[in-house]
Amino acid sequence: EMEEFVQSSGKHGIVVFTLGSMVRNISEERANVIASALAQIPQKVLWRFDGKKPDTLGPNTRLYKWIPQNDLLGHPKTKAFITHGGTNGIYEAIYHGIPMVGIPMFADQPDNIARMKTKGAAIRMDFNTMSSADLLNALKTVINDPS
């Protein structure tokens, strides 16, 4: 079912989104801000999310309690990775050459995303203050800017 969804993305491809296994419940307000941005991109989105389905969720976005992150990052249709900046996810994204939108939450994540930003591999967002437009612009940049 997941592969079918990925294949249905056509030339636009997919975006993989996970904030890691430690982040379980984000507020409805934040989930709606994120979902609203995701609904505006032409890519299909696989979002690892375990909570109340956001009201602003678009038809291009599917929610999953678990995703095969490394397999998806290695998929030829993957265009971007929205990540909290955990070490494993960053290493996997680097290995597969996938640009990142980093939304660090705690621990080593802010430093990891700062290093990726310095190297030109990520754009950093602030989870608490980003708007739908901010996230949308960051996604468009990492997907469309080849640098």
CB count within 10 Å of CB 116 equals 21
**Whole-model pTM?**
0.95
In the chain, DSSP assigns E strands to 14-18, 44-48, 61-64, 78-83, 100-102, 122-124
List pLDDT tens digits, range 91-118. Answer: 999 999 999 999 999 899 999 999 999 9
pLDDT at 21: 73
List pLDDT tens digits, range 113-142. Answer: 999 999 999 999 999 999 999 999 999 999
Contact of 47 with 58, CB cutoff 8 Å: no
The CATH number, out of the four listed (3.20.20.80, 3.40.50.2000, 3.30.1050.10, 3.10.20.30), of the domain defined by the range 2-8+17-144: 3.40.50.2000
pLDDT at 86: 94
E strand or H helix at 70: helix 69-73
